[in-house]
Structure 1
Amino acid sequence: MASNGGSVGELLSYETLVHAVAGAMGGMTAMTAFFPLETARLRLQVDENRKAKSTPVILAEIAKEEGVMSLYRGWFSVISSLCCSNFVYFYTFNSLKRLMVLEKGQSRPGRDLVMGFIAGTVNVLLTTPMWVVNTRLKLQGAKFRNEDLQQTHYKGIFDTFSQIIANEGVGALWNGTLPSLLLVFNPAVQFMFYEAMKRRAGQDGQKISSLQIFFIGAIAKAIATTATYPLQTIQAILRFSQQKSEGKKGLLGSVCNLVNLIMDRIKRNGVLSLYKGLEAKLLQTILTAALMFMVYEKITAHTFKLMGLNNKQKH
Structure 2
Amino acid sequence: MSSGGSGLFSYGSLVHAISGGCGSAVSMTTLYPLDIIRTRLQLQQKKPARVPLQEHDKDGVLAMLQHILETEGSSGLYRGLVPVVQSLYCSNFVYFYSFHGLKRAFNPNKAVLKDLLCGMVAGIINVMTTTPLWVVNTRLKMQGVALQHQQQPHQHYNGMIDGLMKVYKLEGIGGLWAGCNSSLLLVVNPAIQFMVYEALKRYWALQSGGADPSGLMVFMIAAASKTVATVVTYPLQLAQARQRHGGSTKCNRGLLHLFQAILRADGPTGLFRGLRAKLLQTVLTAALMFLCYEKIAAFVFALLLPSHSTSSRKM
Alignment correspondent of 2:228: 223
Q: State the distance in 2 between where 1:238 and 1:124 align.
A: 15
1:208 Cα deviation after fit: 1.0
Matched, 1:18 2:15: yes
Alignment correspondent of 1:162: 165
Alignment correspondent of 1:183: 186
Alignment correspondent of 1:82: 88
On the 8 A contact 2:43/2:147 being kept in 1, the answer is no
Alignment correspondent of 2:311: 312
Q: Could you say what secondary structure the match of 2:311 adopts?
A: coil
CA displacement 1:197-216 (0-9 Å, x = unmatched): 00111122123100000000
Equivalent positions of 1:143-162 (< 5 A) are: 143-146=146-149, 148=151, 150-162=153-165
CA displacement 1:240-299 (0-9 Å, x = unmatched): 1146899xxxxxxx9x72101111110111111111111110001000000000000001
One-letter amino acid matched to 1:293: F
Q: State the distance in 2 between where 1:142 and 1:242 align.
A: 12
Q: State the distance in 2 between where 1:106 and 1:209 align.
A: 24
On the 8 A contact 2:151/2:247 being kept in 1, the answer is no
Q: Could you say what secondary structure the match of 1:34 adopts?
A: helix
Q: Label 1:7 to 1:14 Cα distance change in 2 as closer, same or farther (>3 A).
A: closer
Deviating beyond 6 angstroms after TM superposition, the runs of 4 or more aligned structure 1 residues are: 5-9, 243-246
Q: State the distance in 1 between where 2:143 and 2:289 align.
A: 27
Alignment correspondent of 1:123: 126
Deviates more, 1:192-201 or 1:303-312: 303-312
Q: State the distance in 2 between where 1:130 and 1:227 align.
A: 25
Alignment correspondent of 2:53: none
One-letter amino acid matched to 2:28: M
1:151 Cα deviation after fit: 4.2
Percent identity over paired residues:
43
Alignment correspondent of 1:208: 213
Q: Label 1:279 to 1:244 Cα distance change in 2 as closer, same or farther (>3 A).
A: closer
Gaps of 5+ in 1: 247-253
Q: Could you say what secondary structure the match of 2:110 adopts?
A: coil
Alignment correspondent of 1:250: none
Q: State the distance in 1 between where 2:155 and 2:267 align.
A: 28
Equivalent positions of 1:136-147 (< 5 A) are: 136-146=139-149
On the 8 A contact 1:168/1:242 being kept in 2, the answer is no
Q: State the distance in 1 between where 2:75 and 2:124 align.
A: 34
Q: State the distance in 2 between where 1:45 and 1:274 align.
A: 9
RMSD: 2.4
Alignment correspondent of 2:243: 238
Q: State the distance in 1 between where 2:210 and 2:20 align.
A: 24
Q: State the distance in 2 between where 1:302 and 1:275 align.
A: 39
Q: Could you say what secondary structure the match of 2:181 adopts?
A: helix
Gaps of 5+ in 2: 48-55
Q: State the distance in 2 between where 1:268 and 1:53 align.
A: 15
Matched, 1:279 2:276: yes
On the 8 A contact 2:4/2:12 being kept in 1, the answer is no
Q: 2:65 aligns with which of 59, 81, 85?
A: 59
Alignment correspondent of 1:264: 261
On the 8 A contact 1:141/1:152 being kept in 2, the answer is no
Q: State the distance in 1 between where 2:5 and 2:226 align.
A: 31
CA displacement 1:130-186 (0-9 Å, x = unmatched): 000001100001143446363431222122111111111111100000110000000
> TM-score if structure 2 supplies the norm length?
0.89
One-letter amino acid matched to 2:310: N
On the 8 A contact 1:169/1:244 being kept in 2, the answer is no
CA displacement 1:219-256 (0-9 Å, x = unmatched): 0000000110000010011101146899xxxxxxx9x7
Matched, 1:293 2:293: no
Q: State the distance in 2 between where 1:147 and 1:174 align.
A: 20
Aligned length: 301
On the 8 A contact 2:222/2:290 being kept in 1, the answer is yes
On the 8 A contact 2:5/2:11 being kept in 1, the answer is no
